Structure 1
Amino acid sequence: MAKAIKAVSTIVSKVEDLGHDTKRFTLVDQDDWELPPFRPGAHIDVHLGNGLVRTYSLCNEPDDDRRYVIAVKREREGRGGSSFLHDCVEVGQPISVSLPRGGIVPNPAGTNVFVAGGIGVTPFISVIRHLERRGQSNYALHWTSRGLPILRDMIVPAIEAGRVRLYDTTKQAQPVVAEIVGDFAGSGLAACCGPAPMLKAFEDAVSAWPEDRKHIEMFTPPKVPARSDVPPYELYLSASKKLATVTPDVGLLGTLDALGVEVPVSCGGGICGACRTRWTEGPPIHRDRVLSPAERQNELIVCVGDCAGQRLVLDL
């Protein structure tokens, strides 16, 4: 039995070439119905055919409920998803996407500080538009880019109001992340999305902060070891009543694939959440960067998951 994958049928209503190897895609219901709701900064998995699934942040705000807007930068050294969208996707083309998931919950009382590098600004654009629509100004965005940033047209009021600090790294040094977030150590929410050095600096700066006051979005998953370091364990799928042994050379995801179980996988590195699956017996080993401690009590990101015991039971 394959896992039921909820999907939303959309069509591409607009494709905008923004320059700098970036395109913006607008997806709508073919009959202009409202699309499933989402939180600010949520993600969708875009199904591109031939098993290719990629995850992108929604740029528009939740109140803009008749479209999904994503911005995609061509990653020439990537895994093919961005190139497919740039080269093959046109207006009028049908595209299946997942239900939106995740997102960022702004702090209603304290200040929200967002640190972004380049295209990493996409989830924060959604949050900022959400806050601006509600007349809330308790945030600051620090945004680095090479030259003028793309997508700035989506947050013009915020820029004009002085709530966005732009850093052109062709003319000035990278900002010191620890200094940006340091003023908010006592209260508020800090979030970051950008290249690896920026994320590392951010993680170091907020390492002692409570988990519910820091948020990290990653472009690229960490490298996953080819071989698991966990001893073999029994895997039982309670819905399909399938049983197998997970060995270090095959791993959990490879075993599910061998059993013919369809689990949506996008990043393959534990950062997008596409393959989150309910578990009922374990305990599992969590290596993801997605689930909260509470969510880990009953969910597992299987692309990087394992079992710390002799038996793992998944609701598949």
Structure 2
Amino acid sequence: MKPIRTVKTVVREIAPAGDGIALVHLADPDDWELPAFEAGSHIDLHLPNGLVRSYSLCGSPAERRRYLVAIKREEAGRGGSIAAHALRRGDVVPVSLPRGTFRLATRAREHVFIAGGIGVTPFVAMAGQLARDPGANDAEREDFTLHVLHRGAPPLAALCEAQLPPATVVYHRSGEGRPRADLAALIGPYRQGRHVYCCGPDALMQAVEALTREWPADHVHIEHFVPPARPVDPDAKPYRAELALSRQTIDVQPHESLLHALRAHGVEVDAACEGGICGACRVRWSGGEPVHHDRVLTDAQRAHEVIVCVSGCASERLVLEL
């Protein structure tokens, strides 16, 4: 079985950080250093009502004694944000080890960050890292701009002000008669070394993907924070999940998630989003023909890993390293 690892943290502070946004400061109960993380990483919060939800870390990776997460209250969501907004100072919140599925591109010369509302959260840490380590000389310097598209009060404005040079953050307020930002102008034309990152509502991410369709795939980086609806596969068939380590065999029904089948047989697997976007439930596979529906793994990773909350199987058996 795959052990579920968490770190015990307590809520030190909760502060407003925009319209309906709470900035939550988590720390070790005895103020020991927390596990290290990379800019762009996220953690799973195990909330008091039993829900597990993933949130990007928006503080500096150099600050080892606190995790900062910003959470927007979504009344029509799945309940996680409401539970998170009910947290109070002193509450105990187990969290997962940080996972990095959204990273700064290596060998980049320009980073263009496009954030839609609360989608700014991973970019505060990523841009902050670039601001602290701009390169030893002009040849190594990496330019960046953080474009924040928002309605109402700008999200995480105080945190951005504290961690980023003012000239690197551009706010684009829309609504109330204001025009929307010109995405094509913000992104600019493709050139080698220019990388575009986007996190925000689906419509914004789809627009960015459309504008960069002709770009090399490794120059465009998209971070989803709401699981998309999983399409129904009319050709789905039952299959067997064979667990190589525990020597179990589990029957999986055509429209049953592999994660559900594993849990029903007492196999513990980390999971958070249950929609293929956080990477918590990645498992190695060594036989069969998985059908990948996630938005996390690269093609190279899919050759030996599978996200069990959304993936299916095109063969009669799928061998998992569990």
TM-score range, shorter chain: over 0.9
Identity in percent: 44
Question: Which residue matches 2:95?
Answer: 97
Distance in 2, matches of 1:301 and 1:160, equals 38
| 1:27 alignment partner in structure 2 | 26
* Cα shift at 1:148: 2.9
Specify the alignment match of 2:305 in structure 1.
299
**1:73 matched residue in structure 2:** 72
Quick one: structure 1 residues 31 and 159, their matched pair in 2 at CA, closer, same or farther if it must change by over 3 Å?
closer
Equivalent in the alignment of 1:253:
259
1:147 matched to 2:152: yes
Partners of 2:144 and 2:190 lie apart in 1 by 11
Deviation of 1:29 (Å): 1.1
SS of 2:319's equivalent in the other structure is strand
Q: Give the corresponding residue for 2:139.
A: none
Structure 2 unaligned segments of length 5 or more: list them.
Answer: 136-141
Q: Which residue of 2 aligns with 1:41?
A: 40
Partner of 1:176: 182
Whole-Å separation in 1 of the counterparts to 2:108 and 2:277: 28
Q: Conserved in 2, the CA contact under 8 Å of 1:227 and 1:250?
A: no
Say if 2:313 is the partner of 1:315.
no
User: Aligned AA for 1:72?
Assistant: I
Query: How many residue pairs align between the two structures?
Result: 314
Q: Distance in 1 between matches of 2:122 and 2:167?
A: 19
How far apart, in 1, do the equivalents of 2:234 and 2:272 lie? 20
C-alpha distance in 2 between matches for 1:200 and 1:113: 16
Deviation at 1:179, TM superposition (A): 3.2
Contact 2:17 2:157 in 1 (8 A): no
Residues 107 and 188 in structure 1, CA contact (< 8 A), matched pair in contact too: no
Is this contact kept in 2: 1:178–1:201, CA < 8 A? no
Aligned pairs (5 A) from 1:1-316: 2-87=1-86, 89-102=87-100, 103-135=102-134, 138-156=143-161, 161-170=166-175, 171-225=177-231, 229-316=235-322
Corresponding residue for 2:138?
A: none
Q: Secondary structure at 1:274's aligned position in 2?
A: coil
CA RMSD of aligned residues (A): 2.0
**Offset of 1:206 from its aligned partner?**
2.0
How far is the alpha carbon of 1:19 from its aligned partner?
4.6
Q: For the structure 1 residues 127 and 243, does the alpha-carbon distance in structure 2 shift closer, same or farther, using more than 3 Å as the test?
A: same
TM-score normalized with structure 2 length: 0.91
Any stretches of 5+ residues in structure 1 without a counterpart?
none
Letter in 2 for 1:28: A
Q: Give secondary structure in 2 for the equivalent of 1:122.
A: helix
Shift of residue 159 of structure 1? Answer: 6.5
- Does the CA contact (< 8 Å) of 1:228 and 1:248 recur in 2? no
Tell me by how many angstroms 1:197 deviates: 0.9
Shift of 1:106: 4.0
The alignment's TM-score, normalised by the length of structure 1, stands at: 0.93
Which letter maps to 1:59?
C
Paired AA for residue 202 in structure 2 = A
**Is the contact between residue 146 and residue 169 of structure 1 (CA under 8 Å) also seen in structure 2?**
yes
